[in-house]
Amino acid sequence: MTSLSPGDLPMRIPFKTSPAEFDQHLLFPSNVFNLLPKDHECFLYTDLFGQLDTSVLESQYSAIGQRAYHPKLIVSILIYAYSRGVFSSRQIEQRCNEDLSFMYIAQMNCPNFRVLSDFRKDHPKFFQDCFKQTVRLAMELKLATLGHISLDGSKFKANSSRHKAMSYNRLKEKEQQLTKEIADLVEQARRCDEEEDLAYKNQTGYEIPEDLQYKTARLERIKEAKEALEKREQDLYPGKTIADKKQISFADHDARIMGKKGDFDYRYNGQISVDQDHQMIVGQHLSQKANDQQEMGLALESLQNTTGRLPEKMSADNGYLSGDNLEALGNTPIDSYLATGRGEKTSKTALGESNRTLVKADFVYQETEDCFFCPGGQVLGLKRQTKEGTKTYQGNATVCADCCYKDRCWQSSKGEARTITTDDKEGLRQQMRDKMEAASSKAIYKKRKEIVEPVFGQVKNGGFRGFSVRGKAKVAGEFALVCATHNLKKIARCIRNGSIRLEFGKWEILST
């Protein structure tokens, strides 16, 4: 049977035919980018990238040697690639060869993936500045007013594997083992040297045994990792003894094991402060700590450095309800709203629930007398206090035994009275609990989920789940790049929906 080409098909079939010149040269020149839709976002991003200032990087280039790509071009390619969910430098290079929109952003250039990768690794400080520029642009356009800011954190995978790591105890054991094995090999080599002619035959006898080379190199890596772990823990927890179970990755010494419900891996904790108006990220920093109990001070510092001022209101979830965070907020005029429980207590009337176990939130702290009052009316006085500031309060076992809440409160198997453990910032927690009892406070806090949580969803659904670089400084730079990309996407969206427009190189605000 003879096959028919599309042009030979009967005319009664209503199929479109391909243009006759689709695989031929055009007689007249044309702009290849006319093939893109007129409203394609690459044209919009070009205008946005034109607002970025790269003079700091430009001053670092020398006129000597081969000419380099303009730093603004590389930054534009990276941000556009991240906005399209492309993070691999090799895939970015491929897109610059195949994708018309990438070609337009790259101005028909195609930087090698090494150029893109090295730029991303070598300029983490500039990406921090790039993020600040997007925040200031958003504030100039009235897209962020710092009326209500919500703070939250999320874990992102480090560029490392948990299978290429070792605990502190294992590092110490392995260091001792390799040191002994190397000493044995050196001694063995010395003995063999006495029988040089027989052992080495035609060789000189000065070659280093292969096994000794491997073990020496291995010992150096073990020592380097051990020293890095000790430095990391000392920076995070000054003066505290390092637990033997603490681990470190050989690939990325700064990453930490984080996770929950069995999903543990090397990760970083990305912290963002999001403005209520248009979900702009107005503050960000990277943490090596799995929890958020010491992040408020750093978040406020980031906000101050980025925007030049602090917000009017700030909300955060229960993970931030620590003494250090509350103290950091207390030193500012910010009207703060922090969740005081994880659903275990919604109001003081909840005590009437017959089957609910009494939790710390049910005990009222009296700051003037430095004691707790239990729901049964008993006073829990201060029993002991550690050098680190941890304070333990305990009631009377006889009173507890006759209390009507005994079955829901008594936790000791030895018959000891109920204890409450806290620190010297409990008064601040109690003030926040009292504040969050008000209906107006709950209404303000309720907006938190609508402000900050969708942003992490947008970032991760856009494809970014882990970092491509290693080391905290470089990872922090990439996280700033991710946040800057998010802000530019938000600005682009406001332009597309008509809130803002660009005329004659100047931004004009139509509505907010």
**Angle between helix 426-436 and 323-330 (nearest 10):** 70
| Token pair listed for 79 | 């941000």
- Report d(CA 364, CA 430) in Å as an integer: 8
Nearest to 478 by CA among 82, 113, 135, 154: 82
Domain ranges of the chain: 30-137+491-509, 145-155+267-340+444-475, 165-249, 348-436
pLDDT of residue 350: 54
Query: What integer pLDDT is reported at residue 178 of this predicted model?
Result: 66
How would CATH label the architecture of 145-155+267-340+444-475? 2-Layer Sandwich (3.30)
Closest CA to 303 of 268, 324, 328: 328
pLDDT at 505: 47
Q: What is the pTM of this model?
A: 0.81
Q: Which two tokens stand for residue 405?
A: 């809440």
What secondary structure letter does DSSP report for 481? Answer: H
The answer to whether residues 185 and 215 touch, using CB atoms and an 8 Å cutoff, is: yes
Task: Give the end-to-end CA distance of the chain in Å, rounded to a whole number.
Answer: 66
Contacts of 254 (CB under 8 A, 6+ apart): 232, 288, 470, 471, 472, 475
Q: In the prediction, which pLDDT does 215 show?
A: 67
Q: How far apart are CA 310 and CA 333, in angstroms?
A: 8
**Number of neighbouring beta carbons within 10 Å of residue 330:** 13
Q: What is the pLDDT along the chain (512 residues), one digit of tens a residue?
A: 555 565 555 556 677 777 766 677 777 778 889 889 998 999 999 989 988 999 999 988 888 888 899 999 999 999 999 999 999 999 999 999 999 999 999 999 999 999 999 999 999 999 999 999 999 999 999 999 999 999 999 999 999 877 776 766 666 676 676 676 666 666 666 666 665 555 455 555 455 566 666 667 767 777 777 777 778 787 777 878 887 777 777 788 888 888 877 788 899 999 999 999 999 999 999 999 989 999 999 999 999 999 999 999 999 999 999 999 999 999 999 999 999 875 444 444 455 556 778 888 788 888 888 899 998 888 999 998 888 788 899 988 888 888 888 888 877 777 788 899 888 888 898 899 889 999 999 999 999 999 999 999 999 999 999 999 999 999 999 999 999 999 999 999 998 887 776 554 455 545 44
Q: What is the pLDDT of residue 217?
A: 72
Two tokens, residue 259: 């996770």
Q: Is 394 left (phi over 0), alpha (psi -120 to 50) or beta?
A: beta
